Amino acid sequence: MQVTETALPGVLLIEPARFGDARGFFCESWNRQRFADHGIDLDFVQDNHSFSVRANTVRGLHFQAPPHAQAKLVRCGRGALFDVAVDIRRGSPTYGQWVGAELSFENGRQLLIPAGFLHGFATRSEETEIIYKCSDYYAPDCEGAVRHDDPDIGIDWGLTGPAVLSDKDAAAPWLRDIDTPFAWGGA
């Protein structure tokens, strides 16, 4: 397994080894010990699976606040997507900055997004599946969102057409209008 630091400390690009032959391939997408060997000690409690019919579907930018903040380990089960993390930890030197990674069925990459970061993705192909592990259970009273097209963040989603959004995501506030529940350094 290859683990690569991104420009945002704590957000990691993970490439599990794939073992293939004429039948296809096998890989361990999650192995607690192998991740711990790389300093990643998370207790995942929930798996989520999302399917998007159309390319240019944007989901996010989402977060879940304490006491049910979530770290996520994201991968693409079918198709291709551009996965994004945005630092929203008050006082962080990288507050409001983002990183993105192409995740696809073909490349097998995963993105580890710690609590304290917004998460979102844009589908690159029709019929794209995203599968992700969460370190806490879904708690609707703790969920929050920021608009995907916030000019203060300036994410280049690489869309090839208009964004396909839920009504909820289209109505999300700007980053400057939320009171972030996260502080840098765990405070």
What are the catalytic residues?
Answer: 62, 132
Four-residue CA torsion sign, 123, 49, 46, 103: negative
Distance (Å, whole) CA 62 – CA 172:
9
- Compute and round to an integer the Cα radius of gyration of the chain: 16
Q: Which two tokens stand for residue 13?
A: 């690009």
Spatial CB neighbours of 130, under 8 Å, sequence gap ≥ 6: 49, 50, 52, 59, 74, 75, 76, 77, 81, 83, 103, 121
